[in-house]
Structure 1
Amino acid sequence: MITLYEYWKALSDPEKNEFCKRVGVSYGYMESHLIHGRKKPRMETIQAIVDASDCKLSHKALFDFFLKKEVAAA
């Protein structure tokens, strides 16, 4: 399973900006807090991340990432 951090790092700068726009958070907030798991997003933001990633990120992967659970390789 891919993590939010891995997904984010694979995006180009224009893709990162579009992703943030679709999620509804600023680039700075995503870069500083979310991709490093420093903040735990609201459920609506989790859903927006799944949607903005075109389901490349799953709810389970995001929950595991933000709760710092070990994610098993698929």
Structure 2
Amino acid sequence: MLNLYEYWKALSETEKNQFCQRVGVSYGYMESHLIHGRKKPRMETIQAIVEASNNKLSHKNLFEFFLKKSNSAA
């Protein structure tokens, strides 16, 4: 299954903008913080990401993505 970074990189610029609108975050925030796992999103944002991806990303997948990123930096 795709992770958030892979999913994001596969989108066109138009799709990226639409995805951000559906998630409720700015393009810059998504590009700078979320796809690289620098910030951990709120549960509401994780839910919005799952919905905006049409369930191509799962809650489990997103939890692993964000937790793995923070654990590898520790």
* TM-score of the pair, normalised by structure 1: 0.91
* Separation in structure 2 between the aligned mates of residue 60 and residue 11 of structure 1, nearest angstrom: 21
Identical aligned residues as a percent: 84
SS at match of 1:67: helix
* Bigger proportion of residues as helix: 2
1:9 aligns with 2:9: yes
Structure 1 gap ranges (5+): 70-74
Moved over 6 A (4+): none
1:23 aligns with 2:23: yes
* TM-score of the pair, normalised by structure 2: 0.91
1:61 is matched with 61
2:44 is matched with 44
Structure 2 gap ranges (5+): 70-74
Q: Please give the root-mean-square deviation of Cα atoms over the aligned residues, in Å.
A: 0.9
* Separation in structure 2 between the aligned mates of residue 33 and residue 45 of structure 1, nearest angstrom: 13
